Structure 1
Amino acid sequence: MRMRKPERTGIEVSACCLGTMMSGKRGNPDHDDCVGTIHQALDAGNTVVDTAGVSLTRTGLRRRRSHEPAAA
């Protein structure tokens, strides 16, 4: 996995990020499958996981409803 150092942070992070938008209720509801995906990303050296509670639409940001989990 290629690593990068964001300016002025002093930390190294993976160049790739695992997005969790399609994990859980809106995507793959199989818990074990979702956990397996996270483990594969970690095993590959991924250090960044996107669990943002918003998504980008044509008109801007849309907040995730409060009852939806941020990650599996």
Structure 2
Amino acid sequence: MKRYFIFAISFILLFLLFQVLSGMLLTFTYTPDVDDAWNMSANLSQEVIIKSSQSSFLLLLFIAFLSATIAYFISKKMN
């Protein structure tokens, strides 16, 4: 059971690290098109909707953790 907890904690830390690094890479390589955005702004709605995206990230983390757990136990059962 100790090996499972080490695996789970290292998986979560590596998953978070890769998420942050991929976000940084996408941010650094993104080049916005200001002219196109300005032309599209006339068609936008004037209503502001505030929505948190944290729940989707936690769901993604939970699904990844669950799949890693299942994969761990399947690989342990095969040996």
Q: Specify which structure has the higher proportion of helix.
A: 2
Q: Specify which structure has the higher proportion of strand.
A: 1
TM normalised by structure 2 equals: 0.27
- Of structures 1 and 2, the one scoring higher in RCO (CA 8 A, sep 6+) is 2
TM normalised by structure 1 equals: 0.30
